[in-house]
């Protein structure tokens, strides 16, 4: 008889490092684990630890025939496969190009790229809507370094494949995502250290957070990406690197830290209530974020220009929550806001800049005007000023989250201005990650796609068809789905994530080339824009 607990989760490379952490996290979380690794890796011995109904199997993912046999064996015991985590990999040998054998280069491609593609293909054939495939890539696939040719090329290919498969399989209800770790304290890294090819102190000096990740920190990020809290995330790659990619200058990224002591993540925050400030939190995504933090037990401060709406929302959340009027375009207002919070609470733990672009970004860059500059004052300069003042009252373990601009389906010509804003806010996030990492303050940016906010609650039939044509998942996202991402990034489960960008867009950023809009589409869009049911508001 076929039986299982929770979801059936297939994990390759399961015997050590990140793989073993994944096995433990999913098994203790109530899922049924199929642990897969090479013959002789010790994966079969894990059976005694896991027990029934979990399954441990040997497989060489560089061999297609092994993969086909693997899935035949899985089918004998389980009805469905809900999650595949492609974690198996061969690491970089750190060998110069002139000394790299073709056979070694090809092995990296077979294990790190071809194998995961075959694993994904066979899993997808057995998956139902709601299933997820997560690829464990690497920062090496995004950031070039010497002596990593085959490894880096294979991981870059895996990140690209993630986007392609996400677009192909979204219509079937299958999500595909990736996590790109930086340096992780794994047996692979330990072997490089023993061989004298990697110096731990030098590595830690390149990381703003001043330490390598623990396998559990990467596993927590993967668990989120395949969870029900990430239902609008597909095609995205979440970087988990302690800020490594955000640091780009001479000298040490973390000179103030004794690198030899930085080996463990900070302790989880547990159930302690935090002080969370949500700027622009009266409706849409901002309101959903405020509600999520309040549900967790945090004290929420809703800072918004609309005092009446902020007060109403704060009151609906409970007595301990607070509404404060602030115009983020006025530096004096922002300074006064955080002075007040210092007097009331002594510190804050979370800042979420949700005062996202609205009407100021409906123009094409060819029509740029003072309106666009005014939008930057509110949304970019305002976010900077809020972050600057928040840092003064933050303590280690605090988090700054910036919200990117929602894709504006009503005004496709505004794509260039929205992209300009998102590029700016993402770079601001990275700069702060590099600067604040040594002080234990993390940053991240969430970039929403088309989100169903108050301004777009009644799209026409034409608009629904148009959205489906450009978004792989074929639907608007919900504010709660963006709020779930914010809640994760602000949690201890994201303790090694800083400077990272997370797209919550149904795969929109994974589509290739510009979206084609016909003259008929534009005429229809103009009609929709003038509709009394749609006000064009993005957030």
**3 state SS for 9-44:** EEEECCCCCHHHHHHHHHHHCCCEEEEEECCCCCCC
Q: Give the list of residues 6+ apart from residue 227 with CB closer than 8 angstroms, or none.
A: none
Task: Look up the domain containing 325 and give its range.
Answer: 275-529
- Answer yes or no: is 386 within a domain: yes
What pLDDT, on the 0 to 100 scale, is given for residue 33? 97
What pLDDT, on the 0 to 100 scale, is given for residue 254? 76
What pLDDT, on the 0 to 100 scale, is given for residue 517? 43
Q: Are residues 238 and 305 in the same domain?
A: no
Domain boundary among 221, 242, 263: 242
**CATH code at 376?**
3.40.50.720
Give the CA-trace dihedral at 484, 490, 496, 497, to 10 degrees. Answer: 60
Residues with pLDDT less than 70, the chain: 1-4, 250-251, 256-271, 356-378, 408-416, 455-464, 512-539
* 151 flagged as catalytic: yes
Are 6 and 30 in contact, with CB atoms under 8 Å apart? Answer: yes
What pLDDT, on the 0 to 100 scale, is given for residue 372? 62
| Dist. CA 507–CA 88, nearest whole Å | 25
What pLDDT, on the 0 to 100 scale, is given for residue 525? 44
The reported pTM is 0.90
- Answer yes or no: is 195 within a domain: no
2 CB burial (10 A radius; 0-12, 13-18, 19+): exposed
* pLDDT digit string, tens, across residues 463-501: 667 777 789 999 999 999 999 999 999 999 999 999 999
Neighbours of 111 (CB within 10 A): 24
Q: Are residues 238 and 290 in the same domain?
A: no
What pLDDT, on the 0 to 100 scale, is given for residue 463? 63
Q: Are residues 515 and 451 in the same domain?
A: yes
Q: Are residues 304 and 413 in the same domain?
A: yes
Domain boundary among 197, 224, 242: 242
* pLDDT digit string, tens, across residues 376-421: 666 789 999 999 999 999 999 999 999 998 876 555 555 667 778 8
Domain count, the chain: 2
- Answer yes or no: is 535 within a domain: no
Closest CA to 168 of 525, 472, 378, 466: 472
What pLDDT, on the 0 to 100 scale, is given for residue 513? 45
Q: Are residues 238 and 282 in the same domain?
A: no
- Answer yes or no: is 198 within a domain: no
Give the CA-trace dihedral at 191, 193, 195, 196, to 10 degrees. Answer: 170
CA angle in degrees (0–180, nearest 5) for 492-15-56: 110
Catalytic entry in 151, 183, 232, 496: 151
Domain boundary among 242, 258, 284: 242
DSSP state of 406: P
Q: Give the list of residues 6+ apart from residue 321 with CB closer than 8 angstroms, or none.
A: 290, 294, 299, 300, 301, 302, 314, 315
Q: Are residues 313 and 462 in the same domain?
A: yes
Hey, which residues does 501 pair with through a beta bridge? 445
Are 295 and 490 in contact, with CB atoms under 8 Å apart? Answer: no
- Answer yes or no: is 249 within a domain: no
What pLDDT, on the 0 to 100 scale, is given for residue 145? 85
Hey, which residues does 451 pair with through a beta bridge? 477
Q: Are residues 238 and 336 in the same domain?
A: no
Are 285 and 403 in contact, with CB atoms under 8 Å apart? Answer: yes
């Amino acid at each position: 008889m076929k039986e299982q607990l929770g979801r059936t989760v297939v994990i390759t490379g399961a015997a050590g490092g990140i793989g073993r952490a994944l096995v433990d996290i999913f098994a203790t979380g109530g899922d049924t684990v199929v642990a897969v690794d090479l013959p002789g890796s010790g994966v079969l011995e894990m059976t005694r630890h896991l027990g029934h109904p979990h399954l441990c199997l040997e497989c060489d993912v560089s061999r297609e025939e092994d993969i086909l046999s693997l899935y035949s064996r899985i089918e004998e015991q389980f009805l469905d496969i809900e999650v595949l985590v492609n974690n198996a990999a061969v690491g970089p040998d750190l060998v110069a190009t002139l000394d790299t054998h073709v056979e070694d280069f090809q092995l990296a491609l077979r294990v790190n790229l071809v194998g995961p593609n075959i694993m994904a293909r066979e899993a997808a054939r057995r998956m139902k809507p709601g299933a997820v495939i997560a690829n464990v890539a690497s920062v090496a696939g995004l950031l070039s370094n010497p002596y990593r040719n085959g490894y880096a090329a294979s991981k870059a290919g895996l990140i690209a494949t993630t986007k392609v498969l996400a677009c192909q399989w979204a219509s079937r209800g299958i999500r595909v995502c990736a996590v790109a770790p930086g340096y992780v304290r794994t047996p692979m890294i330990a072997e490089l250290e023993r061989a004298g090819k990697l110096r731990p102190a030098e590595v830690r000096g390149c990381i703003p957070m001043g330490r390598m990740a623990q396998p559990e920190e990467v596993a927590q990020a993967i668990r989120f990406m395949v969870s029900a809290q990430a239902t609008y995330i597909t095609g995205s790659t979440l970087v988990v690197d302690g800020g490594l990619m955000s640091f780009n200058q001479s000298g040490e990224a973390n000179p103030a830290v004794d690198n030899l002591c930085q080996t463990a993540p900070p302790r989880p925050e547990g159930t302690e209530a935090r002080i969370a400030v949500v700027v622009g939190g009266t409706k849409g995504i901002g309101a959903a974020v405020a509600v999520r933090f309040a549900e967790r037990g945090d004290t929420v401060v809703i800072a918004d220009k609309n005092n009446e709406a902020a007060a109403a929302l704060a009151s609906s959340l409970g007595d301990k929550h607070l509404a404060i009027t602030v115009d983020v375009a006025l530096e004096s207002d922002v300074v006064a806001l955080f002075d007040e919070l210092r007097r009331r609470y002594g510190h804050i733990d979370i800042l979420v800049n949700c005062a996202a672009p609205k009407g100021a970004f409906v123009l094409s860059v060819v029509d740029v005007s003072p309106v666009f500059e005014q939008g930057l004052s509110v949304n970019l300069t305002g976010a900077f000023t809020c972050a600057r003042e928040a840092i003064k009252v933050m303590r280690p373990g605090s988090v700054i989250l910036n919200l990117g601009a929602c894709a504006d389906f009503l005004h496709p010509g505004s794509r260039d201005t929205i992209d300009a804003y998102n590029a700016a806010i993402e770079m601001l996030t990275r700069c702060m990650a590099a600067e604040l990492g040594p002080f234990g303050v993390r940053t991240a940016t969430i970039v929403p796609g088309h989100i169903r906010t108050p301004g777009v609650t009644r799209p026409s039939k034409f608009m629904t068809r148009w959205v489906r044509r450009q978004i792989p998942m074929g639907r608007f996202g919900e504010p709660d789905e963006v709020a779930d991402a914010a809640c994760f990034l602000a949690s201890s489960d994201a303790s090694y994530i800083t400077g990272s960008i997370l797209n919550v867009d149904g795969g929109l950023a994974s589509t290739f080339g510009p979206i084609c809009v016909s003259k008929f589409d534009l005429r229809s869009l103009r009609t929709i824009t003038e509709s009394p049911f749609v006000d064009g508001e993005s957030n």
